[in-house]
Amino acid sequence: MEYYYRHPVTSACTRFKVYEDINRNKSVSYEKLLVDAVNNFLKEECNPFAEDNPYKPKVEVVGYTMHRALLLFLAEWKERGIDTESYQKYNQAVGILEQWLISKGMQFIPVADITQQHLETCLRHCKLQNKWSNRTYNNYKGFLFNCFIYLMKKTIIGSNPCADIKG
């Protein structure tokens, strides 16, 4: 026997089959036991889709690491079809951030854990090491700002850690 129900989240009709018990056992006492179990379940207002349902398997939500988020950003920018020179600048800015994160052992931290302090330190370090002008510093800050704006729009992060970095 098969049954259908409308999924409360997706609104799709979902089919499930029942192979055992209900259709095979012809005993009235067993049928009464099953009906009582279902009625008790309904009286307790158990919702199989509720978050606190003890029978619902717990799914671990895996967030984006810095590495994964930066790759996602670059892939999206490449798909947008921006000119090669612009893409290379974004790729270089992301590469500089990624190299700095690797040097600190932070490339696999959750992207939501990156702070303004991290980005300021990275940019200051690169400015001193590479002898950047203020203009170059601001350009890289702008590229990273756009990267984090994209991640915000995709709801991967809640706020842009580049937003208040001074030039």
Shared domain for 145 and 76, answered yes or no, is yes
Could you tell me if residue 159 is inside a domain?
no
* % of the chain with per-residue pLDDT over 70: 72
Could you tell me if residue 51 is inside a domain?
no
Q: With bands split at pLDDT 50, 70 and 90, how would you rate the model's confidence at 130?
A: very high
Is the pLDDT at 155 greater than 70, yes or no? yes
- 45 φ/ψ sector (left φ>0, alpha ψ -120 to 50, else beta): left
Could you tell me if residue 13 is inside a domain?
yes
Could you tell me if residue 144 is inside a domain?
yes
At 27 the pLDDT is 73
Report which residue type is found at 84: T
CA–CA gap between residue 167 and residue 47 (Å, rounded):
53
Residues 9-32 have pLDDT tens digits of 666 767 766 555 555 666 777 778
Give the domain CATH number at 147: 1.10.150
* Residues whose CB falls within 8 Å of the CB of residue 23, separated by 6 or more in sequence, listed in order: 1
Show contacts of 45-51: CB within 8 Å, 24+ apart.
49/7, 49/8, 49/9
User: What number is the average pLDDT over the span 55-68?
Assistant: 66
Q: In which domain, by residue range, is 35 found?
A: 2-43
At 50 the pLDDT is 62
Could you tell me if residue 164 is inside a domain?
no
State pTM to two decimals: 0.61
Residues 38-49 have pLDDT tens digits of 777 666 666 665
Could you tell me if residue 60 is inside a domain?
no
Residues 71-112 have pLDDT tens digits of 999 999 888 888 889 999 999 999 999 999 999 988 888 998
Shared domain for 38 and 80, answered yes or no, is no
Compute, in degrees rounded to 10, the torsion defined by CA atoms 129, 134, 139, 144.
Answer: 60
- For the chain, how many structural domains are there in total? 2
